[in-house]
């Protein structure tokens, strides 16, 4: 996976109990994390009041993984003894042990949550599935019946930031058939679950989990407002020189608008107008992060909407300039200059580009001169 890509959280849970499909999603490795991959996760920075802040950097994730105070693995106590120290949620079927207490009120069916989850069978040192190892937490709406019954019962008993061990007998897990080859028949399983974030109704994360029918009932103006909030949040981060945070906020609104099903041309044009602002903004952030290839892609998306988008032309020119492609940079800055003559920002970059082209020309002339002298000397 390229370091230039952002990775989403899991929106559809792999823990559905009604299917025998055991093809679990593959994600990033720790080696990729070490190289600088960015993943979505729910750490909230001090002073950040944005309820949709669901991002972690790879350093924060690695610190979380190395936190030995509340591990995401099962201890060596035999499971028939383990139930004696656990709270029965469903007698003889589902048990729970709190590893780290949570805060606030309990979860409700109308909540969407972001959580990490490792699943184990007895006698195995490695999880049969792990959101930690996939590199992204799971985003789930609790009114959806697509989790294992025992896992859902356990999660509904938890609170924000709580970490718990949930033991599930076969009737509330994978049943008498199991889920071969990783889950044997009549298997008792344990999940280690941590509730990372709770989203109330109306958050952008909540919208992302809605069906098309549910989204159709939401006023489009409300959708646009949420995306504009992400754009303004990104602008604030950019002004504070927090370019990675800015790019992540822009990405969130962009991805939602790109996949949204518009009811009419008016809605589509309104979304395009916002995207024509978001694309150059994220390109500017990515250029500051030296991620030039995706920055160029976003600029071209903006120019597909409006070929005369001056900001997109400037950002594409800047990305080309930073990539050493000065001829192409001059083309895009020249187009921007024609559309906005006299702009000092564009004029300054035109001067920089011409200076680089002159330097390249002098280097080329010097090289040809040396080649000619060498040729004459050998003849």
More confident residue, 152 or 64: 152
Put the strands of the sheet holding 55-56 in their side by side order.
6-7, 38-40, 55-56
The predicted pLDDT at position 149 comes to 93
Q: The pTM is what?
A: 0.55
- Name the pLDDT band for 302 (thresholds 50, 70, 90): very high
In this prediction, residue 297 carries a pLDDT of 96
Query: Tens digit of pLDDT for each residue in 64-74?
Result: 545 444 567 78
- Ordered by start, the domain boundaries in the chain are 6-201, 205-366
pLDDT of residue 109: 82
Going by pLDDT thresholds of 50, 70 and 90, the confidence category of residue 213 is: confident
**Average pLDDT in the chain:** 79
Poorest-pLDDT segment among 159-168, 205-214, 295-304, 332-341: 205-214
What's the whole-number mean pLDDT along residues 120-141? 85
Over residues 314-333, the pLDDT tens digits come to: 999 999 999 999 999 999 99
Q: What is the pLDDT of residues 4-20, one digit of tens each?
A: 333 334 443 334 443 33
Mean pLDDT across 75-87: 88
Q: Which pLDDT does position 223 carry in this prediction?
A: 83
When mean pLDDT is compared across 51-60, 171-180, 360-369, the lowest value belongs to 51-60
Q: At what angle do helices 310-322 and 265-288 cross, to 10 degrees?
A: 30
Which class is 6-201 in CATH? alpha beta
| 127 contacts: CB under 8 Å, gap ≥ 6 | 73, 118, 119, 120, 133
Q: Report pLDDT for 329.
A: 93
pLDDT class of 372 with cuts at 50, 70, 90: low
Write the CATH number of the domain with boundaries 205-366.
1.25.40.10
Q: Mind listing the pLDDT tens digit for each residue in 233-269?
A: 899 999 999 999 899 889 988 988 887 888 899 999 9
pLDDT at 227: 87
Instruction: Report the percentage of the chain scoring pLDDT > 90.
Output: 45
Alpha-carbon distances of 241 from 236, 246, 277, 291, rounded to whole Å: 9, 9, 19, 16
Phi then psi dihedrals of residue 157, to 5 deg: -90, 0
From 35-49, 53-67, 71-85, 178-192, the region with the lowest mean pLDDT: 35-49
């Amino acid at each position: 996976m390229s370091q230039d890509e952002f990775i989403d959280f899991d929106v559809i849970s792999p823990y559905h109990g009604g299917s025998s499909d055991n093809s679990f999603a593959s994600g990033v490795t720790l080696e990729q994390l070490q190289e600088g991959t960015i993943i979505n996760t729910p750490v909230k920075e001090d002073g950040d009041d944005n309820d949709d802040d669901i991002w972690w950097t790879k350093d924060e994730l690695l610190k979380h993984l190395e936190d030995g105070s509340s591990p995401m693995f099962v201890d060596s106590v035999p499971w028939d003894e383990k139930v004696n120290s656990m709270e029965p949620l469903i007698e003889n079927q589902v048990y729970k042990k709190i590893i780290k207490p949570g805060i606030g009120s309990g979860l409700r069916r109308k909540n969407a949550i972001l959580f990490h989850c490792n699943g184990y069978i007895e006698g195995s040192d490695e999880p049969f599935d792990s959101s930690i190892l996939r590199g992204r937490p799971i985003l789930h709406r609790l009114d959806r019946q697509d989790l294992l019954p025992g896992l859902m019962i356990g999660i509904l008993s938890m609170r924000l930031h709580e970490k718990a061990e949930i033991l599930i007998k076969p009737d509330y897990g994978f049943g008498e058939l199991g889920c071969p080859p990783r889950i044997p028949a009549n298997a008792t399983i344990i999940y280690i679950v941590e509730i990372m974030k709770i989203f109330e109704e109306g958050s952008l994360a909540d919208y992302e989990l809605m069906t098309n029918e549910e989204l159709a009932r939401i006023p489009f103006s409300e959708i646009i407002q949420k995306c504009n909030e992400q754009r303004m949040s990104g602008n604030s981060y950019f002004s504070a020189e927090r370019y990675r945070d800015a790019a992540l906020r822009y990405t969130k609104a962009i991805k939602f608008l790109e996949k949204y099903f518009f009811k009419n041309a008016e809605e589509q044009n309104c979304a395009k107008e916002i995207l024509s602002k978001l694309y150059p903004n994220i390109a500017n952030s990515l250029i500051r992060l030296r991620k030039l290839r995706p920055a160029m892609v976003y600029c071209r998306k903006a120019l597909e909407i409006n070929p005369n988008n001056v900001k997109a032309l400037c950002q594409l020119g800047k990305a080309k300039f930073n990539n050493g492609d000065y001829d192409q940079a001059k083309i895009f800055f020249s187009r921007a200059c024609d559309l906005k003559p006299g702009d000092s920002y564009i004029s300054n970059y035109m001067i920089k580009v011409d200076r680089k082209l002159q330097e390249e020309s002098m280097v080329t002339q010097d090289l040809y001169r040396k080649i000619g002298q060498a040729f004459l000397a050998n003849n």
